[in-house]
Amino acid sequence: MQLHNHGAEIYVPDGSPVDAALSRTTHLGVSAHQDDLEIMAYHGILECFGKPDKGFTGVTVTNGSGSPRDGLYGKYTDEEMQVVRRKEQKKAAFIGEYSAHVFLDYSSGAVKDPANTQVVEDLKKVITACKPQVIYTHNLADKHDTHVATTLRIIRALRELPGDSRPLHLYGCEVWRNLDWLNDNDKVIFNVDGHENLATSLVGLFDSQVAGGKRYDLATMGRRRANATYLASHGVDESTSLIFALDLTPVMDPKVDVKEYTLGYIDRFAKEVSGRLAKLM
Ligand SMILES: [Zn+2]
């Protein structure tokens, strides 16, 4: 596959040929940065882990050059940081038994530029080669510009592809903003109980981020635990670990307005809050 950037790479942990590794994909995760997938798309990783008939492929759109750094990594240049972050993402792909991991190697600025069509073209190539049943990406109410831009590029790629190349499901997941606020009937709920060791390893191995000053490992496990416990006030916990997502499947249809669709979730949330206040005041 010919990807646009010179530094683009497709890593296959088990050494299979690239085409074979991509075509065995059933679940695809597309994220802005190294480590986002292990936080938000863990459901897909777990669905495929140890299953011979399923395959998770990850895509990281940016090169990780602008990431914060401290301690051991404090004096690393942007170039050295990119090397570290790619190596960490490969470790995650190996431990999580991904079918493949695609590094598209764009700057954040390129991803955020709506006029940049190269990101969209690369994503179309990857999706066509993988033909996944499910795609996990960032949710459109996330507060990180590069995350939201990544999702908008995927939506555009899917809209430009023929219908039979589109997945059955497109999910927007949690990184820089929980989805706990969604009304319960608007939540897609992924139960990610079990393999807690795997869940912890996959986030914890990103040493440049965790030791660099952000305890994503503890925070991510805590968020999943909190999602499970605070989902319902009545009844005992049915799961110890949940990830919430926003169903983006309808926006693959070019006739659906992306902004209106997203704001619809917020409108329904506002109605829920105002309805309770009206009832109790
Ligand atoms: Zn990120």
Task: State in Å: Cα 171 to ligand 1 middle.
Answer: 16
Question: Among 120, 119, 117, which residue's Cα sits nearest to residue 107?
Answer: 119
Compute, in angstroms, the gap from residue 276 CA to the centroid of ligand 1: 35
User: How do residues 89-116 score in pLDDT, each as one tens digit?
Assistant: 999 999 999 999 999 999 999 999 999 9
**Residue 142: what pLDDT?**
98
Average pLDDT across the chain, whole number: 95
What percent of the chain lies above the pLDDT cut of 70? 100
Q: Residue 78 — very low, low, confident or very high, per pLDDT cuts 50/70/90?
A: confident
* CA 48 to the chain's CA centroid: 15
CA-to-CA separations, 95 to 38, 100, 194, 199, 261, in angstroms, rounded = 11, 12, 16, 10, 36
279 alpha carbon – ligand 1 mean position (Å): 40
CA of 103 relative to ligand 1 center, distance in Å: 14
C-beta of residue 42 within 8 angstroms of C-beta of residue 243: yes
pLDDT for 233 equals: 78
User: What was the pLDDT predicted at 254?
Assistant: 97
Q: How far is the CA of 30 from the centre of ligand 1 (A)?
A: 11
Residue type, 152: L
For residue 39, the CA-to-ligand 1 centroid distance in Å is: 9
Q: 21: CA distance to ligand 1 center in Å?
A: 25
Residue 218's pLDDT is 95
Question: Phi and psi (nearest 5°) for 209?
Answer: -90, -45
**Residue pointed to by tokens 């040493």:** 207
Bridge partner list, 172: 137, 246
Distance 33 CA to ligand 1 centre (A): 4
Cα(62) to ligand 1 centroid in Å equals 9
Across 244-272, average pLDDT: 98
Binning the chain into helix, strand and coil, the percentages to the nearest 5 are: 50, 15, 35
CB atoms within 10 A of CB 30: 28
CA of 138 to the centre of ligand 1 (A): 9
Tell me how far the alpha carbon of residue 143 lies from the centroid of ligand 1, in angstroms. 10
Buried b (16+ CB within 10 A) or exposed e, 206-237: bebbbebeeebbeebbebbeebbeebeeeeee
In percent, the amount of the chain with pLDDT more than 90 equals 87
Q: Which residue pairs, CB below 8 angstroms and at least 24 apart, start in 72-76?
A: 72/207, 72/211, 72/212, 73/208, 73/211, 73/212, 76/208
